[in-house]
Amino acid sequence: MNEKSPLQRQSDIFDIVVVGAGPGGYVAAIRAAQHGLRVAVVERAELGGVCANWGCIPTKAMLHGADVAHAIEESAALGFAVAGVAFDMGSLVGFSRKVVARLTGGIASLLDANGIEVVRGSATVAGKGRVRVDLPDGVGRDLRADHIIVATGARPRSIPGVVPDGDRIWTSTDALRPADRPASLVVIGSGAIGVEFASLYRDLGTEVILLEAAPAILPVEDAAVSAFVEKQFTARGIAVHTGVSIDSVQAGPASVEVRFRTAAGADVSTVAERVLVATGVAANSEGLGLAELGVRFDRGFVVTDEWCRTAVAGLYAVGDVAGAPCLAHKASHEAVVCVDRIVGEPGVHPLDRDYIPGCTYSRPQVASLGLTEKQARETGRPLQVGVFDLVANGKALALNEPSGFVKTIFDGETGELLGAHLVGPEVTEMIQGFGIARGLEATAESLADIVFAHPTVSEAMHESVLAALGRSLHWPPAKATAAR
Amino acid sequence: MTDIKAVELPKWGMTMEDGAVDEWHLAEGQPFSTGDALCTIDSSKISNDLEAPFDGFLRRIVARPGQTLPVGALLAVSADPSVPDADIDAFVEARTGAASAEPAPASAAAAVPVAAAAVPVAAAVSVAAVAAAATTNGAPTRAPAAPLPGTLLVPEVLRGAADETVFATPHALAYAREHGIALGAVTGTGPEGRVAIKDIESAIVGAGGRLPTRTRADRSGPARSRADDSAVPATPVARRLAQSLGINLHDCRSTGTRDRVCRLDVEEAARRFGLGEHSATPASNPAPEPARPENAPTPVPFSPMRRTIAARLQSSVQTAPHFRVNTEIVLDRVLALRADINAATPGVKVSVNDLVVKAAALALRRVPEVNVQFDEATQTVLRFPDADISVAVAIPDGLITPIVRAANRKSVGEISAELTDLATKAKAGKLRPEEFQGGTFSVSNLGMLGVTSFDAIINPPQAAILAVSAGIARPVVESGAVVVRTVMEVSLSSDHRVIDGALAATFVGELKAILQAPTQMLV
């Protein structure tokens, strides 16, 4: 037996060990360190997880490029004669990687500044309170902690019979580092990821076909939002097919053939340069030793209670690995709730998974919170629904993008905000306002009392609330009450 | 008077009733800012710095070090240097009620028949306050046995349960509940016969009872509610503002949306109670940094926690005659049981220490003479039916002993979950006072650091502490043969004033019997 000195022994003993340094894991580690606990975070790849490295952040950097392409396109209307425009995909990818490097470097310094030990290697939960880390140099380390938080995230999931190969058949990761701009792209799946890439590549000049198995694109959004985005996409030259079933995806040396059946029952074959499979994510829950300890799973996702506890003593899971919605901000929030609960911080509330805002950074942007109108109607509660069209918003007109709307759904009895659905310019920055309102239990009346600055796109939020109360100021009375 | 502010003894935790200033960090005449440590306060269990709740100028120190005072008592007075001394005197007099109780502050202190811990002439402490100090648990001085002139006396005719059907103000209802007053016997003079506090007070006086001498300043100005206001609907901003201004939400109107108390309501109440905005920081002249010699050692001041540890353990060693009884316990069956439990139940992670705590709790039930606290003041041994076990947890700047209550009645799994929870809270500094104050017996385990034996200092007012060392493979003689067993040494330190040698030996013997046949703990 290898006798360790007390200090050697203590160097492997922590109060909390976090597995995974994505937006769930690194936030959990920082929060725990803020409470004065001794914390280690284990990461096998890059700090920041998918979000910072292959998700939220690099896509936004690439979409910024798409916005510039769009700006050049519309610049003539504003008096610019832009000539000799050329585009280099490598430079845009390079920009996005630089953004990623800056951000992940920031996470490393944050962890360091909080006194958190970063252990690089692959973790397994070897037993209750024990994390085995296999280090790259072949040596292992056995960490011990009363509390282990699994924040291992998720990875792109394909559909049966379609195997991404990183060349012709892409996952979102491949779509973030293309060697060149594809002339044509078939996007399978129209959740936030599929829609963002369809929009991005279309603005860069690629011919895009967007295929969705559900009856509408952006299936989790309000039906009016889905219909609006589909209309906008179609107008931009994106071929949108909903209600399709994919028969086969066959990669050739220079192209890939996609066969699918349309909603009408017609068999269609299309050939494109690349295919992007964006059909959801699978939890990174295998190979960690969780099942052996008695952790329960639901379709691969770890089952947790409202405090992120698994069925195993001292073992917790936060973020994507603990189930939908698979969003970075949900992971970070769960991380804080989980840690605060562990240390007995007063006033901790469980996360209400129904009220996590969701954003899609396509053109037009989509942002939403809470119930769709259909879901709200299904509750049987009396509703007050307001819609305000951005065609009557001065700032949207000035931005040359006066299309989109803000829909708000209130409980007619309690005045509680049940849902907010926004589509149009800048709406991803506006949704926080409704999140704050909901969080502070504002009512429709109290929102109507707020002074909104003019001229802003956000004024449409106010008008939407006024519309819900039947008090629209900037919309004629007859149309204000008309159903959308 | 609005420029004069009181610094009061805070309430830290639900069980805190009184406290004493240990040391003032500022002298009279010094300015201070919000958050500055004004003084160190010792309650019966914890010592901590009182941070200034506002910016001010320390004009008068009322509470002298060592003087035990009730929660809410006046500690010091803050006012701008321009305020005349006479106003400060008047404020102190009004706050401590000295003027109404006695002709002069000096004689108020002198008249108290207690050699009250160095009450200075200037500290105009009311009779009630000093009396309360004298009756404080553990205070070295004792109160006279006669009824105290300053306390509330409810006449027999008014005693009874507070009848909630009587039309009364919430404040009056709470008052009646607190003091066991039958509201039906009180005549209300408010609108539609509503009973208010003043009606109760005149009923008490009218029936021959007596009202307490006020120790708080809220005699002047409108009545203030002290009821729990957590259920009052209020906006988050209003709730926080009220808390910071010390305003009870019951005292606020609710003009906000959906009848909630909003910010304006709290501000209105603040004006009503004369709580002005925090005055601007007086121009401060920071004292010049004293010159430090080169290569000076870094002074590491004792933290409040270290001070508490130092004071309590030093006093324990000095006052309790310690003796130790040791035994070796063969741990193999405990280890096997632990492995079985952990393998069979995902939701449980039992440590050896959890099993030791459970075994100690059972042994304490068998030998209840060890499950005691010793009240030195009254020379009484308090014997407890349940084993509330304090478990020492090492934390970065000291140690703390969170308590597993009634461990004898809890399962091993419950004890385990609770101990993990308490230890993490302890490390994060989130323990509530009731989670570490009290206890009937202590366990200190240094096994994880590999020690073969040690002994511990008793945690007063308890009378015994168990020191648990590491389980180590050793040759053991069983039925005449030498076999290898995992052996753990335990050492029981006892207070010989309370526990004798044979009793201590009996306790460790029972503990050993339980741990060597550990299935007893499961039934």
pLDDT tens digit sequence for B285-322: 555 556 667 888 888 888 888 998 999 999 999 999 99
Contacts A13 to B, Cβ<8 Å: 448
Q: Answer for the pair A364, A229: CB distance below 8 angstroms, yes or no.
A: yes
Residues B87, B163 within the same domain = no
Q: State the Cα–Cα distance between residues A286 and A278, nearest whole angstrom.
A: 21
Of A184-198, A340-354, B126-140, B464-478, which range is least confident? B126-140
Among candidates A6, A35, A342 on the partner chain, residue whose Cβ is nearest the Cβ of B450: A6
Strand A417-424 relative to strand A365-370, pairing: antiparallel
Average pLDDT, chain B: 82
The reply to whether B295 falls in a domain is no
Token pair for residue A76?
């003539």
The answer to whether domain A6-54+93-156+282-353 and domain A364-481 are alike in fold is no
Pairing between strand A301-302 and A297-298? antiparallel
Q: Which of these three, B74, B102, B134, is where a domain ends?
A: B134
B374 shares its domain with B491? yes
Same domain, B309 and B260: no
**Is A454 a catalytic site residue?**
yes
As beta bridge partners, residue A191 has none
Best A411, A441, A447 member to test B by mutation, with max B CBs in 10 Å, is A441
Q: Which contacts (CB < 8 Å, 24+ apart) does range A118-121 have?
A: A118/A21, A118/A40, A118/A41, A118/A43, A118/A47, A119/A40, A119/A41, A119/A42, A119/A43, A119/A143, A120/A42, A120/A43, A120/A44, A121/A42, A121/A44
Q: Does B505 lie in the same domain as B425?
A: yes
Chain B residues within 8 A of A28 when measuring between CB atoms: none
State mean pLDDT over B121-147: 39
CATH of the domain at B341: 3.30.559.10
CB contact under 8 A, B342 and A9: no
Q: Are residues B170 and B248 in the same domain?
A: yes
| Amino acid identity for residue B86 in this structure | A
Tell whether the model's pLDDT for residue B138 goes beyond 50. Answer: no
On whether both B261 and B177 belong to a single domain, the answer is yes
CB neighbour list of residue B411: distance below 8 Å, 6 or more residues apart: none
The reply to whether B351 and B256 lie within a common domain is: no
Q: A131 contacts in B (CB within 8 Å)?
A: none
Asked if residue B129 has pLDDT above 50, the reply is no
Per-residue pLDDT of chain A (484 residues; tens, 9 = 90+): 457 888 888 899 999 999 999 999 999 999 999 999 999 999 999 999 999 999 999 999 999 999 999 999 999 999 999 999 999 999 999 999 999 999 999 999 999 999 999 999 999 999 999 999 998 888 899 999 999 999 999 999 999 989 999 999 999 999 999 999 999 999 999 999 999 999 999 999 999 999 999 999 999 999 999 999 999 999 999 999 999 999 999 999 999 999 999 999 999 999 999 999 999 999 999 999 999 999 999 999 999 999 999 999 999 999 999 999 999 999 999 999 999 999 999 999 999 999 999 999 999 999 999 999 999 999 999 999 999 999 999 999 999 999 999 999 999 999 999 999 999 999 999 999 999 999 999 999 999 999 999 999 999 999 999 999 999 999 988 644 544 4
Question: Is the pLDDT at B133 greater than 60, yes or no?
Answer: no
Contact B365, B387 (CB under 8 A): yes
Q: Is residue B75 part of a domain?
A: yes
Residue contact B235–A440, C-beta within 8 A = yes
| The pLDDT of residue B292 | 62
Closest by Cβ to B347, choosing from A13, A311, A443: A311
C-alpha of B522 from chain center: 35
Catalytic, out of A147, A454, A462, A474: A454
Which two tokens mark A201? 């590549």
Q: Which residue has the higher pLDDT, B13 or A301?
A: A301
Q: Where are the beta strands (DSSP E) in A73-174?
A: 117-120, 122-127, 130-134, 140-150, 154-156, 169-170
- For residues B172 and B121, membership in a common domain is answered with no
A364-481 is classed CATH 3.40.50.300 = no
Q: B424 touching A, CB under 8 A? A: yes
Q: What pLDDT is stored for residue B216 in this prediction?
A: 41
Same domain for B188 and B121: no
Same domain (yes/no): B389, B428:
yes
Closest CA to B488 of B458, B519, B463, B518: B518
Interface contact B257, partner A, CB < 8 A: yes
Say yes or no: B439 and B485 in one domain: yes
Q: CATH assignment of A6-54+93-156+282-353?
A: 3.50.50.60
Asked if B347 reaches chain A (Cβ–Cβ under 8 Å), the answer is yes
What is the nearest CA distance from A431 to chain B, expressed in angstroms?
Answer: 21
d(CA B430, CA A257): 61
Q: Which of B264, B424, B431 to mutate to test the interface with A (most CBs of A within 10 A)?
A: B424
Residue B36: per-residue pLDDT: 85
Judged on CB neighbours under 10 Å (0-12, 13-18, 19+), B253 is middle
Q: Lowest mean pLDDT: which of A92-96, B117-121, B210-214, B412-416? A: B117-121
Q: Residue B127 pLDDT more than 50?
A: no
For A314, the closest chain B residue by CA position comes to: B349
Percent of chain B scored above 70 by pLDDT? 83
Would an 8 Å CB–CB cutoff place B428 in contact with chain A?
Answer: yes
Report yes or no on B22 lying in a domain: yes
| Residue of B349, B350, B354 to mutate, interface with A, max A Cβ within 10 Å | B349
- Is pLDDT above 80 for B13? no
Catalogue the long-range contacts made by B265-268 (C-beta closer than 8 Å, 24 or more residues apart). B265/B238, B266/B238, B266/B241, B266/B242, B267/B241
Domain count, chain B: 3
Q: Which residue of A has its CA nearest to B343?
A: A293
Flag whether pLDDT at B452 surpasses 90: yes
Q: Within an 8 Å CB–CB cutoff, is residue B240 touching chain A?
A: no
**Which range of residues forms the domain containing residue B254?**
156-272
Residue B244 lies in a domain: yes
B353 at A interface, C-beta within 8 A: no
State the DSSP string of B400-451.
Answer: E--EETTGGGS-HHHHHHHHHHHHHHHHTT---HHHHS--SEEEEE-GGGT-
Q: Is B394 on the interface with A (CB under 8 A)?
A: no
Whether residues B98 and B43 fall in one domain: yes
Please check the confidence at residue B149 and state whether its pLDDT lies above 70.
Answer: no
Residue B487's SS3 state is strand
CB B392 within 8 A of CB B448: no
User: Using the beta-carbon criterion (under 8 Å), do A36 and B448 form an inter-chain contact?
Assistant: no
- The answer to whether residues A49 and A22 touch, using CB atoms and an 8 Å cutoff, is yes
pLDDT of residue B2: 55
Distances (CA, A) of A260 to A168, A248, A269, B317: 17, 7, 6, 85
Closest approach of A276 to chain B, Cα-based (Å): 41
Please, where are the H alpha helices in B193-350? 197-206, 236-245, 263-272, 304-319, 332-344
Best of A35, A341, A436 to disrupt the B interface by mutation (most B CBs within 10 Å)? A35
Q: Is pLDDT above 80 for B171? A: no
The predicted structure's pLDDT at residue B99: 41
**What DSSP element (H or E) covers B349?**
none
Counting one residue from A and one from B, how many pairs have CB atoms under 8 Å apart?
Answer: 68
Cβ of B396 and A36 within 8 Å?
yes
pTM: predicted TM-score of the whole model, two decimal places: 0.74
In CATH, what number is assigned to the domain containing residue B57?
2.40.50.100
What does the domain layout of chain A look like in residue ranges?
Answer: 6-54+93-156+282-353, 169-279, 364-481
Q: For A169-279, which CATH superfamily applies?
A: FAD/NAD(P)-binding domain (3.50.50.60)
Q: How many CA atoms lie within 13 A of B157 on its CB side?
A: 10
Who among B346, B423, B428 is closest to A294 (CB)? B346
Among chain A residues, the shortest Cα distance to B348 is held by: A313
Give this complex's ipTM. Answer: 0.84
Question: Which chain A residues touch B if contact means CB-CB below 8 Å?
Answer: 6, 9, 13, 15, 35-38, 128-129, 146-147, 293-295, 311-314, 342-345, 415, 440, 443, 445-446, 449
* B428: chain A residues, CB-CB within 8 Å: 35-37, 343-345
